[in-house]
Amino acid sequence: MNSKRVALLQAMPIFGAVQAEVLEFIVRTGNSRAVRQGQYFFREGDLAEMMYVLERGTVAVYRNWQGTALKLRQLHSGDCFGEMALLDCQPRSASVLAVEDAVAIEISGAQLSDIYERYPDQFVLIHMNMAREVCRRLRATDQRLFELSMANEHAEIV
């Protein structure tokens, strides 16, 4: 099972170019978390201590707006979520709900600290990859915001 988990991590942008030894360390020291359909991995506003790599199942990311939960996206096996928590040390910015029974690898800040002590160059690489992933998502969000803004306004083109 560990080789499947390592292969899953190797296929993810966040772990691109990370040494197999480090990925094996993550799998060996990490926990697996099973969440039943209709249950949450976490809720918006929760304290954040770890990120997740979805092994099986489907989850949906929700954000509350004026008392209504709005679906932002759906994630599948091989996707990750919660990584912002390991970068900005802020409460969760969204909720993640299991759309079907789901299993994920938990990666904690403590594990990343251990990686920092054992493999400092790999720690830097993982954080750079995480920042790139967050930037990709920010670019996509900026594009959606721009498109919505242009659709809702009659902007004067100069």
Per-residue pLDDT tens over the stretch 97-119: 999 999 999 999 999 999 999 99
Give percent of the chain above pLDDT 90: 79
* Average pLDDT of every residue of the chain: 92
Query: What pLDDT sits at residue 89?
Result: 84
Domains detected in the chain? 2-150 (2.60.120.10)
Residue 88 or 43, more confident: 43
Cα–Cα distance for residue pair 66/107, rounded to 1 Å:
32
- What is the pLDDT confidence band of residue 85, given thresholds at 50, 70 and 90? confident
pLDDT value at 25 more than 60: yes
Give bridge partners of residue 97 from the DSSP assignment. Answer: 40, 60
Integer angstrom CA distances of residue 119 from 11, 32, 53, 87: 20, 23, 21, 18
- What is the pLDDT confidence band of residue 149, given thresholds at 50, 70 and 90? confident
Nearest one of 43, 36, 41, 51 to 102, comparing CA atoms:
36
